[in-house]
Amino acid sequence: MRTLLIAGNWKLNPTSTEAAAALAEGVKNGLGSATDVHVALAPPFVFLTKVDQVLEGSPIGLAAQDIYWEPNGAFTGEISGPMLVDVGCTHVIIGHSERRHGMGETNAQVNAKLKAALAAKLIPIVCIGETKDERLAEKTEEVLLEQLTGSLAGLSAEEAAGVVLAYEPVWAIGTGLTATPEQAQAVHAHIRSWLSQVFGEATAARVVVQYGGSVKADNAVQLLGCPDIDGALVGGASLKAADFLAIIKAGQEVTARGKS
Ligand code: 13P
């Protein structure tokens, strides 16, 4: 049985260390010592150290929002796996659509970053998802196949089992539009079937596949209740502790009642 992972991707928010610490504190206090769902927070790089201090003694994981594939050297502006581990990170988001589409990140680069994360023993959260035009052109499966094949190239089954995938349809990110539970479940089942073909059924059964895109307290129970949806990567609703805690609570409810 896979444990749900609810992660908050703060993106380029908030704008002060004080606000970042307060948000982390709010989530920490609300969650307490509960481990029935896994929780992680992904603040901007500059707040990682502070948030790590705030989260001390809590089961909440600390995620970076990106990683560079080289461990060190002349790469101005980049941050490496060993550096992330040094400041307390446990997870790292890789290939978010805002990086793929906004910064031109390729599947080959995502693959290099994924391998760097695994080498540093960070849990990678690899994002995939189609744009609105791709969905309308009925190219969703084709696009996901290309992203999965390119991003996970060269991984062993054991390595793949430790990767978290986040299916984030680009058209649902920050738009208030959410994939229906049926739409999301269909894509998640497709992703799991691809994992099964490539890495085997036992590995596919272990991979946590999150959904992301306008997840809120009022749609979380339905989405998280789907058999192949193993958590949420939350943007906007992770910026207020109460909103994020309500999504975590939804995950706890789903976990307590068990999935079909
Ligand atoms: P929203 O929850 O704001 O739609 O963002 C989703 C996302 O991109 C998380 O990585």
The residue ranges of every structural domain in the chain are 5-257
Per-state percent for the chain, helix, strand, coil, to nearest 5: 50, 15, 35
Task: Report the separation in Å between the CA atom of 233 and the middle of ligand 1, taken as the mean of its atom positions.
Answer: 7
1 pLDDT more than 90: no
Counting ligand 1 atoms within 8 A of each CB, the residue from 13, 65, 168 with the most, and so the one to mutate, is 168
What pLDDT, on the 0 to 100 scale, is given for residue 176?
Answer: 86
| Averaged pLDDT for residues 239-260 | 95
Report the C-alpha dihedral over residues 145, 62, 227, 201, rounded to 10 degrees.
Answer: 60
Q: How far apart are the first and last CA of the chain?
A: 12
Positive or negative torsion for Cα 252, 176, 25, 116: positive
pLDDT digits (tens, 9 = 90+) for 141-185: 999 999 999 999 999 999 999 999 999 999 999 998 889 999 999
Instruction: Quote the ligand 1 centre to 237 CA distance (angstroms).
Output: 8
In the beta sheet, which residues pair with residue 107? Answer: none
Ligand 1 atom closest to the Cα of residue 176 is 4
**Ligand 1 atom with least separation from CA of 96:** 10
Q: Whose C-alpha lies nearest to ligand 1, atom 1?
A: 235
Residue of 164, 173, 175 with the most ligand 1 atoms within 8 Å of its CB, for mutation = 173
Q: What is the pLDDT of residue 177?
A: 87
Cβ neighbours for 183, distance < 8 A, ≥ 6 positions apart? none
Give me the amino acid identity at 106. Answer: T
The structure tokens listed for 44 are 């901007």
> Which positions are annotated as active-site residues?
96, 168
In this prediction, residue 151 carries a pLDDT of 98
Average pLDDT over residues 8-21: 98
What whole-number distance in Å separates Cα of residue 222 and Cα of residue 240? 21
* Atom from ligand 1 closest to the CA of residue 174: 4
Residue among 180, 183, 188 at smallest CA distance from 227 = 188
Tokens of 68: 């560079």
Question: Tokens 């928010």 belong to which residue?
Answer: 13
- Tell me the average pLDDT of the chain: 97
pLDDT at 66 > cutoff 70: yes
Q: What is the mean pLDDT of residues 135-141?
A: 96
Distance of CA 8 to the CA centre of its chain: 8
List, for residues 203-231, the tens digit of each pLDDT value. Answer: 999 999 999 999 999 999 999 999 999 99
Of all atoms in ligand 1, which is nearest to the CA of residue 127? 10
Q: Is 46 left (phi over 0), alpha (psi -120 to 50) or beta?
A: alpha
CA of 73 to the centre of ligand 1 (A): 32
Res. 5: pLDDT tops 70: yes
Nearest CA to ligand 1 atom 9: 235
CA 100–ligand 1 middle distance (angstroms) = 14
Residue 260 has a pLDDT of 64
**Residue 174 carries which DSSP code?**
T
Distance (Å) from CA 19 to ligand 1 centroid: 20
151: nearest Cα among 196, 100, 191, 107: 107
- pTM reported for the whole predicted model: 0.98
Nearest CA to ligand 1 atom 5: 235
Q: How confident is the model at residue 137 (pLDDT cuts 50, 70, 90)?
A: very high
The answer on pLDDT for 246 being more than 70 is: yes
Quote the Cα angle for 95-8-29, to 5°: 155
pLDDT at 32 over 90: yes
Q: Which residues line ligand 1 (CB under 6 A)?
A: 9, 96, 168, 173-174, 212-215, 233-237
- For the structural domain made of 5-257, what CATH number should be given? 3.20.20.70
